[in-house]
Amino acid sequence: AQRVTQPEKLLSVFKGAPVELKCNYSYSGSPELFWYVQYSRQRLQLLLRHISRESIKGFTADLNKGETSFHLKKPFAQEEDSAMYYCALRGGSNYKLTFGKGTLLTVNP
Amino acid sequence: DVKVTQSSRYLVKRTGEKVFLECVQDMDHENMFWYRQDPGLGLRLIYFSYDVKMKEKGDIPEGYSVSREKKERFSLILESASTNQTSMYLCAATSDFEQYFGPGTRLTVT
């Protein structure tokens, strides 16, 4: 069975502060991990995936297989980063995703 | 850019009614999904389809069925709507690593 855990339902930081959204997973094989984001009144969209190892909108995430984690980080949060963030896992050869319960990030001015 | 559209943004139905939620994608993606999104519960997979007329149950299929007669269209059916099916329903499509989501249908069952 595969599982994704996001321990924080809510996260509030001030503009310019570092932010880290936590994600832990459980999967017996080699998973593919993603972060999806939903801004207010917009559709859910892919933010980044671990294989690409790129920075999107200043966010990065590193897959730590030893700790089974895929935390999302940004050194200096901006107000426009306020959104709901979901961590997702894809295991095996099908296209199904298992999502975490989400973290609502609020960046205060 | 893949476009995924859903037939209604808001829907209000009565308990016991049969409800159809429609999803259409404008690219040739084989895989389509229906999720429900609830606060504190995240996204939960209801059903998915990897080809025309093919379907598989997701994590919470009870009370739902689906239909995929054409590649571009994936319908979610609530045979007899109940109040606990009040939720935001999201459709998605993919042929690779990225799932493309529709805008969602907020269904209220009274």
In tens, the pLDDT along B9-39 reads 999 999 999 999 999 999 888 899 999 999 9
Q: Identify the residue among A97, A98, A103, A104 best suited for mutation to test binding to B, counting B beta carbons within 10 A and taking the highest.
A: A97
Give the closest of B41, B48, B101 to A43, CB-based.
B101
Torsion angle, alpha carbons of A85, A91, A96, A102, to 10: -20
In tens, the pLDDT along A71-108 reads 999 999 999 999 999 999 998 767 889 999 999 999 99
Which ranges of chain A would DSSP assign to H, the alpha helix? none
Six-digit token pair at A43? Answer: 């559709």
Which secondary structure element, helix H or strand E, spans residue A3, and what is its range?
Answer: strand A3-5
Give the pLDDT confidence score for residue B29 in this predicted structure: 86
- For B93, name the nearest residue in chain A, comparing CA atoms only: A95
For strand A72-74 and strand A3-5, is the pairing parallel, antiparallel, or unpaired? Answer: unpaired
The SS3 assignment for B85 reads helix
Q: Do A100 and B42 count as a contact with CB atoms less than 8 A apart?
A: yes
Contacts of B43 in chain A (CB under 8 A): 44, 86, 99, 102
Question: What percent of chain B stands above pLDDT 70?
Answer: 98
Average pLDDT value for residue range B48-67: 94
- For A9, name the nearest residue in chain B, comparing CA atoms only: B40
Distance from CA of B91 to the nearest CA of A (A): 10
Distance from CA of A94 to the nearest CA of B (A): 9
Provide φ and ψ at B20, rounded to 5°: -115, 125
For chain A, percent helix, then strand, then coil, each to nearest 5? 5, 45, 50
Give the pLDDT confidence score for residue B2 in this predicted structure: 60
Distance from CA of A109 to the nearest CA of B (A): 25
β-partners of residue B77 are B20, B65
Contact A85, A105 (CB under 8 A): yes
CA distance A22 to B31: 29
Radius of gyration, alpha carbons of chain A:
13
Residue B1 confidence (pLDDT) above 70: no
Query: Which one-letter DSSP state was computed for residue B98?
Result: P
In tens, the pLDDT along A73-83 reads 999 999 999 99
Radius of gyration, alpha carbons of chain B:
13
Distance from CA of B41 to the nearest CA of A (A): 5
